[in-house]
Structure 1
Amino acid sequence: IRYWSPAAAAITGLKADDLVGRQAAMALPGWGDLLDGVPVSAQPGPAARDATLPLELGDRELWISVSGVQFDDGVVYAFRNLTEERALDALKSEFVATVSHELRTPLAAIYGCAQTLRRPDTQLDSRTHERLLEVISQECERLTRIIGDVLLANQLDAEQLRIEEEKFFVGELVTEVVEEMHASLEAHERIPIAVSMPENLGHLLGDADKIRQILLNLVDNAVKYSPEGGRIEIAVERQERGLRIAVRDQGLGIPHAEQQRIFGKFYRVDPNLTRGVGGTGLGLYICRELARHMDGRVSVMSKEGEGSTFVLDLPLAVARREEGAGVASGAD
């Protein structure tokens, strides 16, 4: 190696002083393994297409786009780091596969019900007829939620989300979320959802729709990962600087090493669906970003096998206090 540029040092983390004057195969771990795949032009000018190859550097792997030009006294290699691009491409591929699966399932149900309803040779009683229509309706709502999550995630990425400020009552918002979740679970075993909140919450100022979306996602996530016979608890309390809502479940729990990764885009604790838990992997990402846009945060406390608690903290102002406006309730 006769020259090692600052850019090469930044990409690899290897200093020029440690490399210049040494044989490349000895100084650069993994260089010898990829050398045969690097295109080398006979003279300067339009170069051959760069090769994208992995470069092993100890316990690290870099994906580089590399090509070379032959000179009388050696070869000049030029390369750039594509590691992040490769990771993003892999993430996109996984997302496309996940969304395709999530869309295919409700579409198959809708198609099957519609075909049954259309069959002229089958007489359906009124109960079966209504049940098939109900399945179509539920699966259409599921499709709407999936597409809505994808579009919302795109808005969040583009920083195009607009936060509104309006007066709302927290008790009503939480009750609506619980009722909506129970309605979506009518075809399955209903999981008890208990709600506790003080009587003096009053009306707050904030974006009720965004808060509702966060809470829906957190409760839906708790339902997905709750075992049969499990229980979900929603606890609401006023804090000195705003509002705190905690959603607790008795589900699978999250390994400590994954507790920050779960808020990443497309990330799922069970990506191979070995536990039968689906989803696009956007729910917690949307929760985190919506909270961030409202100057709040979402955090998690969990122990594997013992359930999880997701906490939403928002700096909401009090609109006015009305005596007797708050409620304490329990919904099963």
Structure 2
Amino acid sequence: MSNPSKKITETVPIFFFVFNLIKKEVEFASPQFYQLAEGIESEEENPLKKCIHPDYLEQFDNFFSDLSENNNYQASVELKANDKLNGIEWLELNTFPVTERNSSDVMQVVGHIVDITQKKEIYDTLTEEKEHITNILNMVVHDLRAPLDRVSMIAEIMQNSMTKEEYEKYKIYLSMLRKQRQQGTNLIQSLLRLATLKGSATSIDLNIHDLRDLINESISQQKDRIKKKHLEVSCDFPDQHVKARVDAVLFRQVIENLLSNAIKYTPKGGSIEFRLSYEEKHVELSLKDNGIGIPEKYQKTLFMSFKGIRRKGLEGEESTGLGLFICKEIVKMHTGKIRVESQEGEGTTFIITLPYPEPSAAYY
């Protein structure tokens, strides 16, 4: 009767291998893998390594040397292949521990090799297209800024050349010019932030931070607006650090945007509350206000670009409709989620969930 394990390795599209923890080398790989490799026999010493591009050999060695109890012998790496593999340019290696029966002792490490050449090609194409769109957006934003600046300059020149009587007669139009200019500037700044996010999604600076500190810093930034409207801002935090792996600059932008909205749509004397908690598998941050709330019909499109609510604040503040979309994009970059709970006339709560960091992680 044929060996079922051998049959599996010969017929599935993924190649398997076994890593010897004592010898620190790959001692077996699916025979079909070596059929693709020119001039390499499976009986050779560490044959898999001979299929890796020279620029990635150090990464190959580090990948296997880093396997230990600390990562439970589970890891993944993408490596470029050399020209010995016909039709394969990129490989992904994944490892898993095999334990003794009724024991936690690791007997050996097994893994699989996946051809990700097509996936890398698609990713590179999408990256180039995204960079192209981002560059176009940056150019458009740059071209829009200049005429808006000229509008502000013209308004200033007109005011300085007017008599007192003329100013009293036309000041409402000057105010309208400045207001439109400011609204356009706000839209440009939102577009720039969006372009920056889209262009740097793969290189955010993730570190462990105490979310209490980021929230307190954001409150401090908005203290003048809070004081002006006589708002009560409270914080329900645990006594210990509330750690999460975030890009401090980007995530502070999320907090400040949500707080700014709460201030904008909460009446004078109202209340805003931040809350932090550890749930079973994530950290949860919520921001609750007792403002005017969001109509149910708008809540489904609230986080969509150019489809969010563009309603004025209670004191006439303008909105670009991009702020919550930017918040969603930043939270998504942190592999988190954001949602809203709101009742019109009663208030709004935004809830953000972030992955729970490693218990041993140090914070900044």
Q: TM-score, normalised by structure 1?
A: 0.51
CA distance change for structure 1 residues 274 and 244 in 2, over 3 Å: closer, same or farther?
A: closer
Instruction: State the alpha-carbon separation in 2 of the partners of residues 319 and 244 from structure 1.
Output: 16
- Show the counterpart of 1:166: 207
Aligned counterpart, 1:176: 217
SS at match of 1:183: helix
State how 1:147-296 maps to structure 2 within 5 Å: 147-157=188-198, 160=201, 162-184=203-225, 188-271=228-311, 276-296=316-336
Residue 141 to residue 278, structure 1, CA distance change in 2 (3 Å):
closer
CA distance in 1, matches of 2:184, 2:358: 36
Matched, 1:303 2:351: no
CA contact (8 A) 2:186 2:320 kept: no
Structure with max Cα Rg? 2
The 1:240/1:228 distance shift into structure 2, 3 A limit, reads same
1:236 maps to a residue whose letter is: L
Opposite residue 263 of structure 2, the aligned amino acid is V
Alpha-carbon distance, 1:249 to partner: 1.0
Distance 1:272 1:205, change over 3 A: closer
Cα distance in 2 between the residues matched to 1:220 and 1:208: 18
Given that 1:259 and 1:300 are in contact with CA atoms closer than 8 Å, whether structure 2 keeps it comes out as: yes
Instruction: Give distance in 2, aligned partners of 1:178 and 1:248.
Output: 14
- Provide the rounded CA distance (Å) in 1 between the counterparts of 2:287 and 2:215: 11
Measure how far apart 1:245 and its partner are.
Answer: 0.9
Contact 1:251–1:306 (CA<8 Å) still a contact in 2?
A: yes
SS at match of 2:339: strand
How many angstroms does 1:244 deviate by? 1.0
1:251-307 CA-to-partner distances (Å, cap 9, x unmatched) read 111122221211111234354889834211011101111111111111001111111
Q: Structure 1 segments of 4 or more deviating over 6 A?
A: 106-116, 140-145, 272-275
What displacement does 1:142 show?
9.4
* 1:206 and 1:317 in contact (8 A); partners too: no
Distance 1:287 1:144, change over 3 A: same
Structure with more relative contact order (C-alpha pairs < 8 Å, separation 6 or more): 1
- C-alpha spacing 1:290/1:110, structure 2 compared with 1 (3 Å): farther
Q: 1:320 to 1:286 in 2, by over 3 A?
A: same
Q: Distance in 1 between matches of 2:260 and 2:361?
A: 31
**1:241: Cα distance to partner?**
2.2
- Superposed displacement of residue 239, structure 1: 2.2
Q: Report how far residue 206 of structure 1 moved.
A: 2.2
RMSD: 4.2
Query: Which has the higher mean CA deviation after the structures are superposed, 308-317 or 196-205?
Result: 196-205
Cα distance between partner residues in 2 of 1:185 and 1:107: 33
1:247 Cα shift? 0.7
1:198/1:236 contact within 8 Å kept: yes
The SS at the match of 1:317 is: coil
- Matched with 2:14 is none
Matched-pair contact (CA < 8 Å) for 1:193–1:231: yes
Q: What TM-score, normalized by structure 2, do the two folds share?
A: 0.47
2:61 aligned residue? none
Q: CA deviation at 1:216?
A: 0.8
Deviations 1:51-88 (A, max 9, x none): xxxxxxxxxxxxxxxxxxxxxxxxxxxxxxxxxxxxxx
Task: After superposing the two structures, state which structure 1 stretch, 296-305 or 175-184, moved more.
Answer: 175-184
1:35-114 correspondence to structure 2 within 5 Å? none
Distance in structure 1 (CA, Å) of the matches to 2:224 and 2:309: 26
Unaligned runs of 5+ in 2: 1-139, 165-177
- Checking the alignment, whether the CA contact within 8 Å between 2:266 and 2:314 is kept in structure 1 is no
Separation in 1 of the partners of 2:199 and 2:270?
38
